[in-house]
Structure 1
Amino acid sequence: MNGPVGDRAVVVGGSISGTLAARVLSDFYREVIVVERDKVVGVRDSRRGTPHADHAHGLHAHGCMILEELFPGILDEMRRARFPMGDLGEQHWYFNGERFRAARTGLPTVTTQRPVLEDYIRGKVVARPGVTFLERTELTGLEATPCRGRVTGVRLRSAAAEAVDEFSLGADLVVDTCGRGSRTPVWLEQLGYERPPEDRMAIGLAYVTRLYRSPKSLNGAQFLTCLASRTNPRGAVFGRAGDDTYYLSLTGILGDHPPVDPDGYLEFCRSLPTAEVYERIRGATPLTDPIAFHVPASVRRRYERLSRFPERLLVLGDAVCSLNPSYSQGMTVAAMEVMALRAHLGRGTDPSSQAFVRDVGRIINRPWFLSTTRDLQHTGGKGVRALAARLGNAYVTRLHGAAPHDSAATDALIRVAGLSDPPTTLIRPRVVLAALKRQGLRDPGCQAPQ
């Protein structure tokens, strides 16, 4: 590229999606302004805009490799800084009470608490020339040309309770990374466009998380996961947050939610098909009370299906698609979308909004299919797709049954779950052979690693 694509890009939302988008935009615009409702720079705790940040998160496999590409050497830096990191296939994966045989996949995973990871990345981005975080400021609307064909900026105001005055900020490009609460459908309607159609998968998911201090290590691993299945729909993630600090996120769906009272929380933990989770916290010192977060549905906004879309406006991350967080795909999918943005900008001109949202739609197709197909086993969905999902789930269940005995099955499952390999790799001869060795399936439904 011979010069910048434009003078100013505005990113709305300062979480992981917005921060990574700002990193990419800083290579192509003289000025990048990240508008964020909360105070975020230097903040390593959960905040109002990210109520889910206290719960288990993971940046797995493909997402880690993208992070390394955007910030060369960052994974080694994080290891030296004692971030919880390791090989995704060498963690403690449990399904129906059986632990997968470890597989050295070469795929990295980072499972530190989300606010800590965000702060670490944000610190690198805010130090880049031309990048500014405009904190405690909220978006009130979009500005556009008289014909409404191109967005020209944003309307903002202070997030202080008494603030009423708005001000305008011009931009060559506006990127919405506001997450589930994105109001882009409203702004589009105000500009004379249609709202995007939505796909929804009701899951009735609840996380309840508690932080512990425990001297018990995971013998080289940084987390253990009890995967939900049809016969055992309760799940858990127990992960290292610091040298002797661990978080435990219990999950339940469709109303079977973990209690928030300490005794009920322990009993829910004891009910898991894997005793190791309960053994890890029995006798450990609680550092926080149990805290809950509810996700009623996975939602996908189909911007790629709109026949008209204003130029110089892009949407990515959870603002487009908020997946079931049990599968830990959200941050990785956002990173993949940011790399698509980089590819569009690399052509030397402002990206075509419609072309970009179509590319984002293609990126989402695979994780959305994986996530909703697994969820169909719990929701009792009917129809042709549900039949195909049941057949696919039955086969993957064989792989789950094989994984405690065959590292090839573990490797295949982990690579697909980490979004490094497509689902078609699960039918490679070596993997099929591992599945066929397993007989007497105990569970007709399955759920792949998070």
Structure 2
Amino acid sequence: MGRLFGTDGVRGQANGLLTASLALDLSVAAARVLVDRGGYAGQRPRAVVGRDTRISGQFLEHAVVAGLASAGVDVVRVRVVPTPGVAFLTDALGADVGVVISASHNPMPDNGIKFLARGGVKLDDTIERAIEERMGQPWQPPTGADVGRVTPYSTPLEEYVAHLVSTVKPLTGLRVVLDCAHGAAYQAGPMALAAAGATVIPINAAPDGLNINEGCGSTHLGPLQAAVLEHGADAGFALDGDADRCLAVDHRGRVVDGDQIMAILALGLRDAGRLRDDTLVVTVMSNLGLLRAMAEHGVAVRQTAVGDRYVLETMNADGYSLGGEQSGHVIQRDHATTGDGILTALHVLERMVVTGESLASLASVMTRFPQVLVNVGGVDRSRTDDEVLAAAVAEEEAALGDTGRVLLRPSGTEPLVRVMVEAETQGRAEQVAERLAKVVRERLTLS
């Protein structure tokens, strides 16, 4: 069997790659690895299982629960809860594993299975490999009283929302639009913002199992922009299907991306003395404007490979308190073990209350450089160290100087090389990107 786990669990088309049989086998293997590593001395381990609103999540949830319980794991079902909510409950309930059934921002036909370790943190690569190796191997399942129990949990949303609200000051006086993407936060999101004192106008909060992420949420900001203007709101926030990411819109309908959100939160934490080592952790895709703004305000920036798991690994290794991605994954480690879109929205709103500034004013702390990304297909992604290509990149970087930057990044899964260029003007960024894309095609083309 090939590698199943990607950067965010096992993901694919429901009933295509991701079948009920695969979900069952994965869960049995995960339970067996957990039991072997746990040393439970006769006690059954415990799992928390939640999902988003996709219709396929219903049969996949049953398969996951069946696999875990058949392997002797007691299962607590929390039903439709955001990914960060499952992570919180896994930790709060002292569970040994959490399972989230979601494909995040992907379209409805997809789904995914993500395992969390004790404490609500992502599994490391060694455990994922151990689970894959255990799949399909013979085993002796428990019988009689040794099989797991399955119980519903009655107050998952109430406990998760109470945790979120406890992290911020009252938000009284703010009028906020929240795009729930017809996803897992369609209840928790409005509940949390209202409980914190804001006047909330929820949109795209009527999931039917088929409409998750459809023309809405953090990947389609048009409806949020229109609603903010229509309702005269102070701000708007868009979540994705499992609510682990968040993008914003100011009162003028202008987008505030993940980099700007991190700049706002970093300065707020710095001012409060809670930004560990005065350091922000971001990926190499974060905008040059963020790096400049942080330097101007005395905040150091650590950069990682693309992917929130790499941001989190660096944060956990060195004890940093804030990190994330331009796409809206923002991790506030003092309050969460993963990106949390609702938590992000609450803390941006709190910063507005504390400073008395609008979201537009807070976001102006950084100026976004125009960023152009060109995906060059049909090339050998393993040869980005080609001498001629390296020389072309060096020449463009020298010409840009401190007014821009170049990033060449091979795709992890496709025969693609991604050419990203930032410059002071859109036109110049496009010109540099096209020149380098041409060199990539000429030098790395597959024969």
| TM interval, short-chain normalised | under 0.3
Higher relative contact order (CA 8 A, sep 6+): 1
TM-score normalized with structure 1 length? 0.25
TM-score normalized with structure 2 length? 0.25
